[in-house]
Structure 1
């Protein structure tokens, strides 16, 4: 939300300016709450990354957790500067991450193992180049929404074939955080004028970031459980300090 205050980064050049007063706390951070709200996503992805490496999951899961961290950092840069170049560092990783999810969801049953990753890699490169030169606007949102929808049938298939109640709870938490986060984002976007007149801004977009950080973590953990089950590692869901779920496995001695 532009307010005419001076800033280190200069005038806003991004195509989206959320419902938070710009440079309210620092001349170096355009949207303070929208910036720091990415920290939980980074910490959750880091914990997931450590667990994936410790349990020796395939590199695709390592890349997945790292991509969550890259996306959060790109989002921080975008909200901290509100510059078009940094907006690119947020939106392009969003698409790349969804392509990675598509690969992980379908890779166990893909018969031509080099074809799919090659296609998705080239698709991601072409998108990045086009998006850097052409302002897609609503087209980007539609494109990203389609990629998300393409993942749903496969996620549902994993859900119905999973018998473990704790793992199913992860999938439900994934849906719940997605719904609640989207609701916060929508309210912040549609009712910005009304919210701006309130004494306290609830920072709906920042809350969306927090929810989506947990959303990504729940999705990743659920997929790790399903993959461990496919590899007959006898996975179980444990809880860090009785709160944060993570995957534990018991690999056969041969592995």
Structure 2
């Protein structure tokens, strides 16, 4: 492969080789993306779309470890396991472009979202209600699976996933606002958590605490939704202008052309957005259980990934994180 210099740039690059047949040829999936097939290796049909799923796997493992270490509700542990399955399925799908792997990728997204629907709608409901909800969601997931396999139309899957995601997001926001914001607290919520013994002064402190929690939650929601929708927009541009983008990639060469892989950006951005959503769900559940003082959202800054941890563990970490001269290290 010839090495050349990018136009108007000193950065070296490698020419794209032609697309070729690979280890898993022929393609049997109903979807094929703008990344050319088997140009980098015969063992991965779409190398960038394959490797960007490693972020899903990393974040899933991070979430699973956090759930186990901090005793979060089991439903969120299962959600992160489903999240891991999404990343693994997508990895195998883009590596092979085989229809069975496409089903693993796309249907695991539906199943994981159904888990979050259950976590959101079953909170503080009766056993009978929760059981009926579980039966309904299993039946819904089975219907989507069979009907999608019958249609083999990716648009049906995308619409079903988008609808489920919107429903669970709107419901979770309603639960958050009606149970945590002081002026919106429901009657049963107030009765279950009466005014602190310190009277109005202590209640004002609690209200200020909850308002700060809401501010951080809304920041998480805004960041997560924005990066999720941003990833979707980039992928749509990839679909609309695929011929032009492929020409640009070949003009600038590798590895710089990798940055023009729109579906790869979809993986990175939606993976991050989904992680933020599950972490927000964990934090919301602890706040709904009146454990605001027991758990803390550990999110030092925009460049860091959030996690919900027990306060004593975080406090112990921060207490131990000191210099030899006794000055505390500052968490950025």
Query: Does TM-score exceed 0.5, indicating one fold?
Result: yes
Matched, 1:56 2:106: no
- Does 1 or 2 have the higher relative contact order (CA < 8 Å, sep 6+)? 1
Could you tell me which residue of structure 2 aligns to residue 246 of structure 1? 307
For residue 108 of structure 2, give the secondary structure of its aligned residue in structure 1.
helix
Distance 1:137 1:246, change over 3 A: closer
| Preserved contact between residue 41 and residue 212 of structure 1 (Cα < 8 Å) | no
Could you tell me which residue of structure 2 aligns to residue 65 of structure 1? 80
- Please give the alpha-carbon distance, in whole angstroms, between the structure 2 residues aligned to 1:4 and 1:214: 30
Matched, 1:218 2:276: yes
Matched, 1:110 2:171: no
Deviation at 1:129, TM superposition (A): 3.3
Divergent runs of 4+, >4 A: none
- Please give the alpha-carbon distance, in whole angstroms, between the structure 2 residues aligned to 1:179 and 1:149: 12
Matched, 1:101 2:116: yes
Give the 5 Å matches for 1:1-255: 5-111=20-126, 112-160=129-177, 161=180, 163=211, 164=213, 165-198=215-248, 199-200=251-252, 201=257, 202-234=260-292, 235-239=295-299, 243-250=304-311
- Please give the alpha-carbon distance, in whole angstroms, between the structure 2 residues aligned to 1:103 and 1:109: 12
Deviation at 1:168, TM superposition (A): 2.4
Deviation at 1:109, TM superposition (A): 4.2
Could you tell me which residue of structure 1 aligns to residue 325 of structure 2? none
The CA deviation string for residues 128-180 of structure 1, in whole angstroms up to 9 with x for no partner, is 23433441332222222222222232132245346313232211111111121
- Please give the alpha-carbon distance, in whole angstroms, between the structure 2 residues aligned to 1:85 and 1:19: 20
| Preserved contact between residue 71 and residue 93 of structure 1 (Cα < 8 Å) | yes
| Preserved contact between residue 298 and residue 308 of structure 2 (Cα < 8 Å) | yes
- Please give the alpha-carbon distance, in whole angstroms, between the structure 2 residues aligned to 1:50 and 1:137: 33
For residue 114 of structure 1, give the secondary structure of its aligned residue in structure 2.
helix
Task: Tell me which moved more, 175-184 or 163-172.
Answer: 163-172
| Preserved contact between residue 233 and residue 250 of structure 1 (Cα < 8 Å) | no
**Normalised by the size of structure 1, how large is the TM-score?**
0.90
Task: Tell me which moved more, 236-245 or 220-229.
Answer: 236-245
- Please give the alpha-carbon distance, in whole angstroms, between the structure 2 residues aligned to 1:209 and 1:122: 28
Over the residues paired in the alignment, what is the CA RMSD in angstroms? 2.0
The number of equivalent residue pairs is 249
Task: Tell me which moved more, 146-155 or 190-199.
Answer: 146-155
For residue 236 of structure 1, give the secondary structure of its aligned residue in structure 2.
strand
| Preserved contact between residue 38 and residue 209 of structure 1 (Cα < 8 Å) | yes
Task: Tell me which moved more, 214-223 or 147-156.
Answer: 147-156
